[in-house]
């Protein structure tokens, strides 16, 4: 979510540190800051709040509360109270997954464009301004994290009903999409029609427009799992559904209702004429207990009662300490704190993980050999020694016996064998053999294949005689005499030792052209001199070193043949261009009387 | 003729390097299926059904086989190993994992992960730090440092992102390469351990990502094209 530095500051009495310092504090003690953008008079942070804290930190108020705790600043937690109304809004709560439903009717509102300060505030964090009433609800969402909704009261016939949809019932959402509902989905309705998908999205039926003069505000709380299921099955993830599915605390309705009504009075005028709050099972305060030893044993850091008390006080948490036990009244907004292990995280991150020392394991583990893995290693090393190169292809294919639901079209099934993809790979590599400096391509893949019977680890080997494929177990068994005597440890050591430090050289997407040259020389020294010429030429004009592909001796003379590969990273080379370069080599060699081009 | 020996895939090279380092510390290798059931992939790892944490990993589901997925991480191997073994132990679990996300130069629908798990008496964050620091020092060089940042993975508490400070060509960079944490008591309970008796730490790192850092690849997709021009080491 995007957070404004100024907006966070508005919830904290003491001055915040600079945006740069604040960013560091957030990163090392709470959340990942994905982006920080400075604007004319503000700084916008994009902070990644993960599911454990999405219930309390997806708002400026919640983020400010966390920051105030981290930095020991005074949090400006205004207790908004809602004035009693003279009459009730008629509501009928039939769905048990509606945890709390608060409704407020305001008559005489004037719906119009929002003032500049509000438009600016919303736009700074990526929210478009719509009108005073809708902007007020969006402001409350971003400010307090509580989703709210406004209905045009004139368009609501009879009571507001919270019920389950009937199968096939439809709604046109505020974004103009028609959605067909099922019986498990909670809706907000009146006596005639569906007004909104509860906790997910409003509908057009009771939309607030510029002509609206009377509104009913909904400030509610719904069951997290119910909202999640509805949101997922409709493919409709909204700012509201994201908050409800993360266990938003129902106690927070109170402050949101008061602040929203107050804001609408300022922005759109009107009078509160009725209000109702259905909250049959108020949220209970939970308590957890832990000891200093619980925290120390998990973190292994030096932590004292003093530092624990300091952290608890900074956050303003209520707790008691009797003998060794701390009993913490878990704040209503922290649904994620369930036991001592969660408190270990709280103390660890607030005090700082950098204070924890690195230590070796307190026991000496004994190695248990994984037979399957060792077989695979032995086969890989053996094939490598036989001149085969390893490749990896996708586990997905177009067709197979086991299919993927909702996968990409060309990769919608799991491979039943390695051979098909290895054949494609072999064809590609065979064409590229000169680029690879290979006379003959030999390759293999080891990987899992999937059939109706289950998954099996296979090995497939390709060379000019074709492709053979077997299970790893079968292949190992067939080559057991060789494989079992292979010095895997020694090969592994040399493999790891030979990993070069040179970086990846990307390859050209353009075609290559090869040229061969065969030269007669008389002595080994002349052959060596020729090699130097050839290497220098290849280094300057070719994409890879020259390959010596043939050599023989006849009548006391030595014939040496090299292959050169020409390729550009920028374009397709023409025969003429290659010929021109190649002539450089021809004339260099021709200048040596002891070398004769065949 | 020049004798041409075969080459190994860069991921195999990186995995061999990792294997060698952890074997010295006494870690065993554990493996598990790539087509996994939801209980091992999610539920036992403290990710209940209909929980927002399931969205943290876009999942490939199996058609006509409800309750089965392509494993989204190597963490289910932890569960399988713990159910069959008694602490103390230290394991690594290398393997292929799958995510249903659109691919680009830094994202693939299949990639390799390396899981680590240590369970025993009195295992703390200190030991997690010790094991990872000595691993990364051997992998990237003696001047390597690590730092932990708070993060969230449902199967650990506390959970961390591990940043590694790598010095390469005179340049210093902090790379985000590993997630880690103390095994969540619910996970220990799910496999029949008593969280009062034993504790443990777990970590997971992207092998493809380590290969990219080691070899400076510009495109992760090159790893699975079957193109031998990739085998440059």
> What number of other Cβ atoms are within 10 A of residue A59's Cβ?
25
pLDDT of residue B171: 85
Helix, strand or coil for residue A423? helix
Q: How far apart are CA A6 and CA A19, in angstroms?
A: 10
Using the predicted structure, report yes or no on whether residue A502 has a pLDDT greater than 90.
no
What 3 state SS string does A281-292 have?
CCCCCEEEEEEH
* C-beta of residue A85 within 8 angstroms of C-beta of residue A277: no
pLDDT of residue A318: 93
Q: What is the mean pLDDT of chain A?
A: 94
**Average pLDDT for residues A478-504, to the nearest whole number?**
90
pLDDT in tens, A560-577: 999 999 999 899 999 999
* Chain A contact set for B70 (CB, 8 A): 395, 404, 414
List the single residue in A341, A403, A429 with the smallest CB-CB distance to B185: A341
pLDDT of residue B1: 37
pTM, two decimals, is 0.89
Subunit contact A31:B65, Cβ cutoff 8 A: no
**Average pLDDT for residues A147-164, to the nearest whole number?**
97
Q: CA–CA distance from A236 to each of A97, A183, A199, A294 (Å)?
A: 19, 17, 11, 42
Subunit contact A365:B226, Cβ cutoff 8 A: no
* C-beta of residue A338 within 8 angstroms of C-beta of residue A288: yes
Using the predicted structure, report yes or no on whether residue B168 has a pLDDT greater than 80.
no
List the single residue in B90, B148, B217 with the smallest CB-CB distance to A504: B217
List the single residue in B62, B121, B182 with the smallest CB-CB distance to A298: B182
pLDDT in tens, A306-351: 999 999 998 889 999 998 999 999 999 999 999 999 999 999 999 9
Residue B123 at interface with chain A, using a CB cutoff of 8 Å? yes
Q: How far apart are CA A19 and CA A3, in angstroms?
A: 12
Residue B144 at interface with chain A, using a CB cutoff of 8 Å? no
Subunit contact B129:A388, Cβ cutoff 8 A: no
Nearest CA distance, B171 vs chain A (angstrom):
15
Subunit contact A367:B27, Cβ cutoff 8 A: yes
Closest CA in chain A for residue B48: A225
What letters, b where the CB count within 10 A reaches 16 and e where it falls short, cover A206-241? bbbeeebebbbbbbbbbbbbbbbbbbeebebebebb
pLDDT of residue B101: 83
Element (H, E) at B137: helix B125-140
Using the predicted structure, report yes or no on whether residue B228 has a pLDDT greater than 80.
yes
Nearest CA distance, B140 vs chain A (angstrom):
11
Q: Which of B1, B6, B17 should be substituted to probe chain A, the one whose Cβ sees the most A Cβ atoms within 10 Å?
A: B6
What DSSP designation does A152 have? Answer: E
pLDDT of residue B4: 59
**Average pLDDT for residues A109-120, to the nearest whole number?**
96
pLDDT in tens, A510-525: 989 999 999 999 999 9
Which of residues 207 through 236 in chain A touch B, CB cutoff 8 A? 225, 228-229
Are β-strands A91-93 and A160-164 bridged in parallel, bridged antiparallel, or unpaired?
A: parallel
pLDDT in tens, A365-401: 999 999 999 999 999 999 999 999 999 999 999 999 9
What is the number of alpha carbons within 13 Å of residue A145 lying toward its C-beta? 29
Say what the ipTM of the complex is.
Answer: 0.95
Which of A514, A528, A520 has the alpha carbon at shortest distance from A597? Answer: A520
**Average pLDDT for residues B89-114, to the nearest whole number?**
92
Residue B225 at interface with chain A, using a CB cutoff of 8 Å? yes
What φ, ψ does residue A327 adopt, rounded to 5°?
-115, 120
List the single residue in A299, A356, A407 with the smallest CB-CB distance to B100: A407
Subunit contact B151:A448, Cβ cutoff 8 A: no
* Token duo for residue A39: 């604007």
Q: Which of A58, A461, A499, A569 should be substituted to probe chain B, the one whose Cβ sees the most B Cβ atoms within 10 Å?
A: A499
Closest CA in chain B for residue A55: B52
Are β-strands B171-183 and B156-168 bridged in parallel, bridged antiparallel, or unpaired?
A: antiparallel
**Average pLDDT for residues A114-129, to the nearest whole number?**
96
Using the predicted structure, report yes or no on whether residue B2 has a pLDDT greater than 50.
no
Which of residues 11 through 40 in chain B touch A, CB cutoff 8 A? 11-13, 16-17, 19-20, 23, 25-31, 33-35
* C-beta of residue A219 within 8 angstroms of C-beta of residue A195: no
pLDDT of residue A501: 74
**Average pLDDT for residues B3-22, to the nearest whole number?**
91
Which of B87, B111, B113 has the alpha carbon at shortest distance from B100? Answer: B111
Lowest mean pLDDT among A466-475, B71-80, B159-168: B159-168
């Amino acid at each position: 979510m995007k957070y404004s530095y100024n907006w966070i500051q508005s919830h904290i009495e003491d001055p915040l540190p600079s945006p740069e310092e604040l960013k560091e504090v957030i990163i090392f003690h709470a959340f990942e800051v994905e982006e920080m953008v400075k604007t004319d008079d503000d700084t916008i942070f994009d902070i990644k709040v993960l599911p454990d804290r999405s219930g309390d930190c997806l708002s400026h108020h919640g983020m400010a509360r966390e920051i105030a705790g981290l930095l020991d600043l005074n949090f400006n937690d205004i207790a908004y109270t809602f004035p009693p109304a003279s009459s009730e809004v008629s509501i009928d709560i039939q769905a048990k997954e509606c945890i709390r439903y608060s409704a407020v009717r305001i008559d005489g509102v004037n719906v119009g464009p929002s003032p500049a300060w509000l438009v600016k505030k919303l736009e700074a964090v990526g929210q478009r301004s719509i009108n005073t009433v809708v902007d007020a609800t969006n402001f409350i969402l971003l400010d307090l994290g509580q989703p709210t909704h406004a209905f045009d009261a004139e368009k609501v016939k009879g009571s507001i009903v919270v019920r389950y949809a009937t199968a096939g019932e439809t709604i046109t959402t505020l974004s103009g999409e028609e959605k067909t509902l099922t019986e498990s989905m909670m809706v907000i309705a009146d006596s005639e029609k569906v007004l909104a998908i509860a906790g997910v999205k409003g509908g057009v039926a009771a939309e607030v427009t510029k002509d609206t003069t009377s509104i009913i505000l909904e400030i509610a709380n719904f069951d997290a799992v119910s909202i999640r299921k509805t949101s997922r099955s409709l493919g409709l993830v909204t700012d509201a559904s994201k908050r409800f599915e993360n266990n938003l605390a129902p106690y927070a309705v109170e402050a949101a209702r008061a602040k929203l009504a107050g804001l609408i009075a300022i922005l759109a005028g009107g009078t509160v004429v009725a209000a109702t709050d259905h909250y049959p099972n108020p949220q209970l305060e939970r308590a957890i207990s832990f000891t200093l030893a619980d925290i120390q044993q998990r973190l292994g850091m030096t932590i004292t009662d003093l530092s624990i008390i300091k952290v608890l006080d900074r956050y303003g948490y209520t707790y008691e300490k009797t003998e060794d036990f701390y009993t913490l009244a878990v704040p209503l907004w922290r649904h994620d704190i369930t036991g001592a292990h969660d408190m270990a995280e709280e103390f660890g991150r607030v005090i700082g993980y950098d204070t924890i020392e690195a230590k070796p394991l307190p026991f000496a583990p004994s190695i248990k050999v994984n037979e399957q893995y060792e077989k695979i290693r032995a086969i890989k090393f053996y094939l490598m020694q036989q001149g085969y190169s390893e490749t990896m292809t996708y586990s997905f294919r177009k067709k197979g016996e086991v299919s993927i639901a909702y996968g990409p079209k060309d990769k919608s099934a799991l491979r039943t064998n390695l051979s098909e993809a290895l054949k494609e790979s072999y064809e590609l590599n065979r064409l590229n053999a000169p680029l690879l400096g290979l006379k003959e391509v030999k390759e293999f893949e080891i990987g899992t294949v999937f059939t109706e019977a289950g998954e099996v680890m296979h090995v497939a080997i390709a060379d000019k005689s074709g492709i053979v494929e077997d299970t790893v177990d079968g292949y190992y068994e067939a080559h057991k005499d060789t494989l079992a005597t292979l010095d895997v440890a020694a090969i592994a050591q040399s493999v790891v030792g030979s990993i070069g430090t040179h970086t990846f050289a990307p390859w050209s997407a353009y075609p290559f052209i090869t040229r061969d040259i065969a030269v007669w020389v008389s002595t080994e020294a002349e052959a060596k001199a020729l090699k130097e010429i050839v290497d220098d030429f290849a280094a300057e004009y070719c994409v890879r070193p020259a390959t010596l592909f043939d050599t023989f001796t006849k009548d006391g003379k030595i014939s040496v043949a090299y292959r050169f590969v020409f390729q550009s990273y920028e374009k397709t080379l023409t025969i003429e261009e290659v010929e021109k370069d190649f002539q450089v080599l021809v004339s260099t060699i021709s200048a040596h009387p002891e070398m004769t081009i065949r | 003729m020049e004798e041409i020996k075969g080459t190994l895939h860069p991921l195999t090279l990186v995995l061999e390097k990792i294997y060698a380092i952890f074997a010295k510390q006494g870690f065993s290798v554990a493996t598990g299926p790539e087509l996994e059931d939801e209980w091992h992939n999610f539920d036992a790892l403290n990710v209940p059904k209909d929980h927002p944490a399931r969205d943290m990993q876009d999942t490939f589901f199996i058609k006509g086989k409800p309750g089965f997925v392509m494993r989204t991480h190597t963490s289910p191997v932890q569960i399988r190993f713990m159910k069959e073994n008694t602490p103390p132990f230290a394991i690594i679990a290398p393997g292929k994992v799958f995510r249903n996300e659109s691919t680009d130069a830094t994202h693939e629908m299949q990639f390799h992960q390396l899981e680590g798990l240590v369970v025993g008496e009195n295992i703390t964050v200190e030991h997690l730090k010790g094991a990872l620091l000595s691993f990364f020092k051997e992998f990237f060089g003696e001047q390597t440092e690590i730092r932990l940042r708070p993060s969230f993975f449902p199967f650990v508490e506390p959970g961390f992102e591990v940043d590694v400070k790598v010095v390469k060509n005179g340049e210093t960079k902090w790379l985000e390469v590993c997630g880690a944490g103390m095994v969540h008591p619910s996970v220990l309970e799910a496999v029949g351990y008593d969280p009062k008796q034993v504790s443990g730490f777990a970590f997971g790192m992207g092998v493809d990502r380590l290969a990219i850092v080691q070899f400076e690849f510009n495109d992760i997709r090159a790893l699975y094209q079957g193109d031998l021009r990739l085998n440059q080491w």
